[in-house]
Chains A and B, each alone.
Chain A
Amino acid sequence: MKKTEKHNYNLILGIVLTAIVLIPAVIGIFYTPYDTESMNLALKMASPSFSHPMGCDNYGRDIFSRIMKGSSITFLIGVGTVFWGSLIGTLVGAFTAYYGGVVDEILMRVNDVIFSFPSLLLALVFVAILGPGTYQVLFALAIAFIPSYARVVRGEFLRQKSMDYVQLARLAGAKDLRIMFVHILPNIRKVLISSILIGFNNAVLAEAGLSFLGIGVSPPKASLGSMLSDAQTYLFSKPELALFPGLTIIIMVLGISLISKEVA
């Protein structure tokens, strides 16, 4: 495969955009310049300044610090969601495709039913059951994401399973698990990686959506979605409150989707 110059630019741009958000987010896990939750009325709605580059919010909290913390929480929810969603989805898809039969039929029909609801709606239902909070959102999104991974992996596995090299692996005496995960799995890596990246984006947007509705990450904790939600009230008087978290989401999602197009 030969990549054209243009493709490489896309990839580089994607990596740069992702890094712009990711590096502060990773640092934000361990350190932020100011405390992100305690209020300081003296700095209420402070304008951007040298010590507070993005200004302060209605409780006098440093917006830049909250963006760092918020994007790290959003990032962790995204990573956790795709990790569990793709891990369980891959196992389900691999086993159902490989063994077929009644279990496959049943699981795939269940999958079809779940799949016919938008995953955000599903997550909403799960959060309604579990209550708001970071881990609840992660858990709800992971469950909501499993069917789409299972479906993608199952399709790819079915395609690979009928190929001669898989038959020959059987004929070499390889055990089923070895055939599934040593012989077949590496051959579907491209599809898997790109659906993991796209899934990450969807998780980020879903988290933002849930928190925006007030049923995701709960205050005073910052997440990009909850910051947007808080900013609604001041949309006209102080648009920066919405602008910065909004931009952060856009940059993160754009960067990842540029990367995902290039690896596929």
Chain B
Amino acid sequence: MKRILRVENLSIEFHDHALAEKVVTDLNLDIFEGEIVGLVGESGSGKSLTAMAAAGLLSRHDIKKSGIIDFDGTDMLSAERAELRKVQGNKLSVIFQEPMTSLNPLKKIGWQVEESMKIHMPEMTASERKNRALEVLLQVELKEPERVYNSYPHQLSGGMRQRVMIAAAMAITPKLLIADEPTTALDVTVQMEIIELLKDIRKTYGTSILFISHDLSLVSILCDRVAVMKNGVIVESGNVREIFDFPKHEYTKKLIASIPVVEL
């Protein structure tokens, strides 16, 4: 299997206060083709920052990064914007936690789903783009894709919007999908549907997924491997089953113990 993402000794430091603050320390993470990897940890442990760095979005003057992030041959830590742009929305897509704010309130869904095609495939005609948009909207199990295509974000529910986000992310079939807590804002039943959808996407397209969550139970359903993160450090990582059955680190044990047991 081919390695699609390699993160080596990643450290991230904030320099926006008098005292520098290290929020990610010596982090190592690999993702192989077609693999779903979970990144779990409590709030503030540095999951989102790691994801942003991997997506090439962490280019603020007051943030210092070191280490290696190699995504399919592109150096995501130090490549120029122009080079990152060729990768972003093309080989790599991201979905965020809040489906309410992730969509531009003034643009129709269709326009937003087509954005990455407009940017990366200028040779596509308007009707080809629309066909592809309708196809992915159908794939994320939105009924009446034509109606959704012509809707504005405020006309859709949270769950529908998150499906739209996934459709937009998949329109151009990326090699890696980074999903930063994509189900946290949704209620439990919708959460499970989205998890199933992500599984389908991997099956259909062979897309690798970095699934960020603080919910170990979701990770155990969806992921092949998992990395447990605390205070900017990965304390334990490995196969999901192994970690669940034989957690070594105290923090992992605590996380597992805190999963509410649901009697079925």
Contact = CB atoms under 8 A, between A and B. Distances in A.
A172 B102 contact: no
A101 B62 CA distance: 10
Contact of A168 (B90, B92, B102): B102
A6 interface: no
Contacts of B57: 167, 170-171
Given A183-B104, A187-B105, A171 B93 contact: yes
A172 B104 CA distance: 13
B101 interface: yes
A168 B96 CA distance: 9
A103 to B, nearest CB: 12
Interface string A155-173: 0000000011101111111
Contacts of A175: 85
A183 B93 CA distance: 18
A171 B102 contact: no
Interface string A167-192: 11111111100100001001100000
Contacts of B86: 173
Contacts of B105: 165, 187
Which range holds the interface residue count of chain B?
20 to 34
Contacts of A171: 55, 57, 88-89, 92-94
B72 interface: no
A101 B61 CA distance: 8
Nearest to A169: B115
Contact of A173 (B89, B96, B102, B103): B89
B242 to A, nearest CB: 33
Contacts of A100: 61
Contacts of A168: 94, 96, 102
Nearest to B180: A164
Nearest to B90: A173
B102 A165 contact: yes
Contact of B119 (A101, A174, A186): A174
B120 interface: yes
Contacts of A167: 57, 96
B101 A173 contact: no
B106 A172 contact: no
B98 interface: yes
B213 interface: no
A164 B168 CA distance: 14
B116 interface: yes
A165 B85 contact: no
Contacts of A164: 96, 98, 101-102
A207 B70 CA distance: 61
Contacts of B55: 171
Given A167-B57, A171-B57, 19 more contacts: A163-B101, A164-B102, A165-B101, A165-B103, A168-B96, A170-B57, A170-B88, A171-B88, A171-B89, A171-B92, A172-B116, A173-B87, A173-B88, A173-B89, A173-B116, A173-B119, A174-B85, A174-B89, A174-B115
- For the complex of A and B, 10 pairs with smallest distance between CB atoms: A172-B89, A173-B89, A164-B101, A164-B102, A173-B85, A173-B88, A165-B104, A172-B116, A173-B119, A172-B115
Interface of A: 100-101, 163-165, 167-175, 178, 183, 186-187
